[in-house]
Amino acid sequence: MLRMLKERLEAGASAEEEVSALFSKINKSRLNAYNVLSEEAALERAREYDRSPWGGLLAGVPIAIKSSISTKGIETNCSSRILTGYIPPYDATVIERLKEEGAIIIGKTNMDEFAMGTSTETSCFGPTKNPWDADRVPGGSSGGSAAAVAAGEAPCALGSDTGGSIRCPASFCGIVGLKPTYGLVSRYGLVSYANSLEQIGPLTLSVEDAALVLDVIAGHDPRDSTSARSEGGYFARIEGGVDGLTLGVPQEYFGEGVDPLVEKAVWDAISKLEGLGASWKKVSLPHTRYALAAYYIIAMSEASSNLARFDGLRYGLRLGADQDWHTTFSDIRAAGFGPEVKRRILLGTYALSAGYYGRYYLKALKVRTLIKQDFERALSAGGADLLVTPTMPFPAFRIGERIEDPLSLYMADVFTVPINLAGVPAISVPCGFADGLPIGLQIIGRHFDEAAVLRAAKAYEGATPYHEAVPKEVV
Amino acid sequence: MAEKDVIIGLEVHVQLNKLNSKLFCGCSTDYHDSPPNTHTCPVCLGLPGTLPVVNKRAVEYAIRVALALNCAIQGETLFYRKNYYYPDLPKAFQITQYDFPLGLGGSILIKGEDGEERRIRITRVHMEEDPGRLVHAGTIDRAKYSMVDYNRCGMALLEVVTEPDLRSPKEARSFLDKLRNILEYLDVFDGNLEGAMRIDSNISLVGGERAEVKNISSHKGVEKALAYEITRQRSARRRGVAQVQETRHYDELRGITVTIRTKEEAHDYRYFPEPDLVPMRIADWVPRVEAKLPELPDAKRERFVAEYGIADDHAKSLTSEIRVANFYEVVAERAPPRLAAAWIADVLKGELNYRDVTIERFSPDQMVVILDLIEGGKITEKGAVEVIRTILDGPGETTEADPAAIVATKGLSRVEDDAVMAAVRAAVEESSQAVADYRAGNEKAINFIVGVVMKKTRGRADPGEANRLVREALEGAGRA
Ligand SMILES: [Zn+2]
């Protein structure tokens, strides 16, 4: 769709008309995909484009941005009360790159507060709804970005993925979501939740679109010390199929806890890929069962440190207070953070405190190393080229169904978090439906081998109709 | 006051203030004369989403210092987060080093109380970022509000931690003077800037708990605070009151220390590795930094003794400031080195200290001319001192003043001294009436004789000096 839009614009279509059509859709929508719109600035930018079109990979293309990615002059609130009104004075590196390639930012999408959640229900702006069934969650935490793209309220969007936050909503909303290798995309400007795990990535309607956006945002950034060099050219290398590739099927990702319809759809997908020339074999990722515990300890520990800066002193929520520091800031934090954020700050603080650091945080880091080794072994030369698994163990659940039971929500991330611990790239592509709800296929690759991941995803997409289905919320 | 039961250790925070940019961002470090919050950016303000990037030159400077302090440089070093809340710390954590500091196990030589050389061990040297500054409206405990200035935020700091090897406040001061001396030699530090060095000192009496006196900003302050603490802890012990482990604040105005908090409130900083920075393999940098390491004070002092044949005391005095040492070397190239050493170390430095000015107020050229005049017997030592004082007391930039001209206008040449003496002798001889009157008790009669001297020297004699010489002559004649 992004590519088609680009071709339309190149052929002379009006960017202003495209953008204003989007906004009329957004303004009528009941999905709550956005929490801040940049309508006037976007229309003005589109008019400028129409007056004298500029070049660039995304020239004139509108894009939605997750609310945790800093945009100069546009409120970036992470769906948290404590950051409402915060307008960054600078652009994240990915935003600079999008602008350099001519994209137009249309607004900030709803998310789980500070990216903490699997359903976009912890947003202070209320939950986003799933375009396939408005009673259901879109997944999280980039649920707003996924819903907007699935419902045609944006041709593409950026999300961030800490433990599955791009792939989960992509799976629940029936679109494509790519979590790049850790370090491939600069994190400068991404409001940190768990620094060592999170990556910015695209949510799109097609694999090609994802490759195109990745070409724009990937690459070394001197402002991010963890940023790596990128070989780039993902879009150009997307053809080539899976002929001769070996797919690994990790046995730990099937069986108990997985919806049988999901399992069937994924096996069908594996057969389809086999029909395209790939071979497959069972592999083992033996430390998978420790992944969730390690992930939550690391993520919450880092979060407890990252979120300590929000005190209403310099930006964000203000309460009229004339008390001593500690009372004032305690009051602001009590009012500004939602329950899930508070829970994670407290657990993270506990895990890092003297006497527990070795028992929890250090141990989690050790588990992380083992998990990384699991993936390296399974994806080593002579082993599998790619791994294929379900993205989520089940399709989108109902709003309110799990929010009171945090542990069951944490369990939903069981197939996505190991990828973040290992730092490898993974994509979720639509691979079928269960009772009318989309199912996602996860394809995992070696470090910095996005090209292979995208090639396989593209081959699969080309051989299946699932990405063409239109959700019922879209009129 | 070297007392066997005193145990002192120091933690010195040194600002690497000769860098151009801060430790983790590109902000300028030249903030000292600027309005608050004008040297800041999203990174050092800790705005959401910003990431630190290590200033490589800061790491190089830190390695330079660690090497100069004889530390073992660690092969790999990494940063940690030290989590705590304070309004001048915008991220609510400080990026610092913890388990793997840059340098371990160094030492510095100082002159101990007994005059013997003492080796003070250094536990570790590590890098960290400076927080901002709070400006209180009024005193810290009574302020209605406080303002925050983030200009200092993110400045590169080195923390130098000693073993508890110091035995007296004076030794602590010597240590700090020596440390500052070394840092200035390394060209990484300007000790004259506000906040350049801040010191926490730990002090205890053998068998007692220790008190930590925090955040003292001058070497003299440390010496005074420690002296106060020794007296306080001693008298408490005499009264049977046990010292508890506590943190104290030094009140510079009152010259006393006051307790801030006791051990029970100790912080849990929740250290963990900074995820936004990767570990640095610095072992490979060391040879390059080492090759560029300048000659340090101790080595320079030894070389001065060997090369110029000067006394060790003079060498020590000349090398205690890099600028004085450089000045001396320039002069010693063109004048007798031992004579130069004595005049610079004993006379010039004293006159500079007295006026609280730096050596830049004097030029090597001037010193060479003066030494030349002394050596050639053209002026007396007293006259030479007078020339030095005249130059230093002159207006503004006095390095242009010509010593020979001063000698001429002030009539300081030895030849002219002799001429004045001759005039005095002649005047006394010629003025028999005035001499008689003076001897009879008429004090004022001396003025007549001085007038004759002035006439004979055509006014070139100093009237006061002439007065003194006439008196001397009369006393001498009386006794004869
Ligand atoms: Zn800065």
Place of tokens 């990535």: A201
Tell me, rounded to whole angstroms, the distance of Cα A109 from its chain centroid. 12
- Return the closest-CA partner of residue B349 out of B305, B316, B381: B316
Amino acid at A135: D
- Are B85 and A308 in contact (CB < 8 Å)? yes
Domain C-terminal end among B261, B288, B315:
B288
Examine the domain organization and report whether B215 and B84 are in the same domain: yes
* DSSP assignment string, A181-207: PTTTB--TTBPPSSTTT-EEEEEESSH
- Are A90 and B42 in contact (CB < 8 Å)? yes
Other C-beta atoms closer than 10 Å to the C-beta of A30 total 8
- Are B92 and A325 in contact (CB < 8 Å)? no
Q: What mean pLDDT do residues B456-477 have?
A: 77
Distance CA B370, CA B164 (A): 47
Examine the domain organization and report whether B121 and B250 are in the same domain: yes
Cβ atoms of A149 and A157 closer than 8 Å:
yes
Partner residues linked to B427 by β-bridges: none
Give the chain A residue nearest B272 (alpha carbons): A352
Distance CA A210, CA A145 (A): 13
- Output the CA B50–ligand 1 centroid distance in Å: 10
Position B433 scores a pLDDT of 87
- Output the CA B38–ligand 1 centroid distance in Å: 10
Examine the domain organization and report whether B48 and B23 are in the same domain: yes
Tell me, yes or no, if B50 comes closer than 8 A to chain A by beta carbon: yes
- Are B46 and A309 in contact (CB < 8 Å)? yes
Count Cα neighbours of B340 within 13 Å in the Cβ-side half-sphere: 26
Per-residue pLDDT of B133-142, as tens digits, reads: 998 887 766 7
Q: Of A89, A187, A195, which is closest to B42 when you measure between CB atoms?
A: A89
Distance set, CA A421 to CA A139, A352, A366, A370, B233 (Å): 20, 18, 11, 10, 54
- Contacts with B134 from chain A: Cβ below 8 Å: none
Task: State how far residue A257 is from chain B, nearest Cα, in angstroms.
Answer: 33
Distance CA A344, CA A392 (A): 22
- Return the closest-CA partner of residue A201 out of A403, A453, A376, A430: A453
- Return the closest-CA partner of residue B197 out of B163, B171, B220: B220
Position B441 scores a pLDDT of 85
Signed CA dihedral, B407, B410, B416, B418: sign only: negative
- Are B85 and A86 in contact (CB < 8 Å)? no
pTM of the model: 0.89
Distance CA B189, CA B294 (A): 14
Domain C-terminal end among B288, B304, B335:
B288
- Are B49 and A86 in contact (CB < 8 Å)? no
Partner residues linked to B251 by β-bridges: B256
Examine the domain organization and report whether B223 and B104 are in the same domain: yes
Distance CA B43, CA A241 (A): 44
Examine the domain organization and report whether B299 and B282 are in the same domain: no
Task: State how far residue B369 is from chain A, nearest Cα, in angstroms.
Answer: 56
Examine the domain organization and report whether B347 and B384 are in the same domain: yes
- Contacts with B278 from chain A: Cβ below 8 Å: 225-226
Q: Write down the number of H helices and E strands in chain B.
A: 16, 16
- Are B93 and A353 in contact (CB < 8 Å)? no
Distance CA B206, CA B396 (A): 52
Q: What is the CA radius of gyration of chain B?
A: 30
Distance set, CA B248 to CA A429, B258, B262 (Å): 62, 5, 9
Tell me, yes or no, if B271 comes closer than 8 A to chain A by beta carbon: yes
Other C-beta atoms closer than 10 Å to the C-beta of B42 total 19
Examine the domain organization and report whether B471 and B405 are in the same domain: no
Partner residues linked to B109 by β-bridges: B119
- Contacts with A76 from chain B: Cβ below 8 Å: 48-49
Examine the domain organization and report whether B233 and B315 are in the same domain: no
Q: CA-CA-CA-CA torsion for A351, A357, A360, A366, nearest 10 degrees?
A: 140
Q: Which residues have CB under 8 Å from B242's CB, separation 6+?
A: B208, B209, B236
Kindly state the tokens that stand for A110: 């709803």
Position B480 scores a pLDDT of 39
Number of domains in chain B: 3
Active-site residue list of A: 66, 141, 165
Distance CA B33, CA A238 (A): 57
- Are A224 and B48 in contact (CB < 8 Å)? no
- Residue B432 banded pLDDT, cuts 50, 70, 90: confident
- Output the CA B278–ligand 1 centroid distance in Å: 20
Place of tokens 């939950």: A127
ipTM score for this prediction? 0.96
- Contacts with B54 from chain A: Cβ below 8 Å: 225
Position B140 scores a pLDDT of 66
Task: State how far residue A97 is from chain B, nearest Cα, in angstroms.
Answer: 16
* Residue B130 DSSP SS3: coil
Query: Is B413's pLDDT higher than 80?
Result: no
Long-range CB pairs of B318-327 (<8 Å, 24+ gap) are: B318/B344, B318/B345, B319/B181, B320/B177, B320/B181, B321/B181, B321/B184, B321/B359, B322/B181, B322/B184, B322/B185, B323/B358, B323/B359, B323/B360, B324/B349, B324/B359, B325/B297, B325/B300, B327/B359, B327/B362, B327/B364, B327/B367
Kindly list the residues of chain A whose beta carbon comes within 8 Å of any beta carbon in chain B.
Answer: 68-70, 76, 78, 83, 86, 88-90, 92, 187-192, 194-196, 222-226, 301-302, 304-305, 308-311, 313-315, 325-326, 329, 349, 352-354, 357, 361
- Output the CA A416–ligand 1 centroid distance in Å: 36
Distance CA B349, CA B195 (A): 26
Distance CA B343, CA A384 (A): 82
Examine the domain organization and report whether B220 and B235 are in the same domain: yes
- Are A92 and B81 in contact (CB < 8 Å)? no
- Are A309 and B48 in contact (CB < 8 Å)? yes
Angle among Cα B344, B350, B354 to the nearest 5 degrees reads 145
- Contacts with B272 from chain A: Cβ below 8 Å: 301-302, 305, 352, 357, 361
Q: Of A83, A89, A308, which is closest to B92 when you measure between CB atoms?
A: A308
Query: Is B478's pLDDT higher than 60?
Result: no
Compare B315 and B425 and report the one with higher pLDDT. B315
- Return the closest-CA partner of residue A415 out of A273, A299, A262: A262
Cβ atoms of A230 and A221 closer than 8 Å:
no
Distance CA B462, CA B417 (A): 10
Per-residue pLDDT of B364-373, as tens digits, reads: 999 999 999 8
- Contacts with A222 from chain B: Cβ below 8 Å: 53
- Output the CA A223–ligand 1 centroid distance in Å: 12
Examine the domain organization and report whether B456 and B402 are in the same domain: no
* DSSP assignment string, B288-321: HHHHTPPPPHHHHHHHHHHHH---HHHHHHHHTS
- Contacts with A326 from chain B: Cβ below 8 Å: 85
- Are A309 and B270 in contact (CB < 8 Å)? no
Examine the domain organization and report whether B464 and B353 are in the same domain: no
Q: Which of the four CATH numbers 3.40.50.2300, 3.40.309.10, 3.90.1300.10, 3.40.50.300 does domain A1-474 have? A: 3.90.1300.10
Distance from first CA to last CA of chain A, Å, rounded? 17
Examine the domain organization and report whether B81 and B104 are in the same domain: yes
Please identify every stretch of chain A with a pLDDT value under 50, giving residue numbers as ranges.
Answer: none
Kindly list the protein residues that place their beta carbon closer than 5 angstroms to ligand 1, a single-atom ion: B 25, 27, 41, 43-44
Q: What is the CA radius of gyration of chain A?
A: 21
Cβ atoms of B231 and B224 closer than 8 Å:
no
Q: Of B46, B85, B275, which is closest to A195 when you measure between CB atoms?
A: B275
Q: Which residues have CB under 8 Å from A63's CB, separation 6+?
A: A98, A103, A104, A105, A106, A154, A155, A156, A157, A158, A213
**Helices B445-456 & B432-439 angle (0-180, nearest 10):** 150
Count Cα neighbours of B323 within 13 Å in the Cβ-side half-sphere: 12
Q: What CATH number did the domain enclosing B464 receive?
A: 1.10.10.410
What is the domain extent for residue B77? 3-288
Position B422 scores a pLDDT of 83
Task: State how far residue B148 is from chain A, nearest Cα, in angstroms.
Answer: 10
Let me know how long chain A is: 475
Task: State how far residue A385 is from chain B, nearest Cα, in angstroms.
Answer: 28
Q: What mean pLDDT do residues B93-98 have?
A: 97
Position B2 scores a pLDDT of 55
Distance CA B317, CA B344 (A): 9
Domain C-terminal end among B288, B309, B324:
B288
Strand pairing report for A246-250 and A386-390:
parallel
Give the chain A residue nearest B45 (alpha carbons): A314
Task: State how far residue B278 is from chain A, nearest Cα, in angstroms.
Answer: 7
Kindly state the tokens that stand for B472: 């001397």
Kindly state the tokens that stand for A348: 């993270």
Backbone angles phi and psi of B108, in degrees to 5: -135, 140
- Return the closest-CA partner of residue A383 out of A244, A276, A281, A453: A281
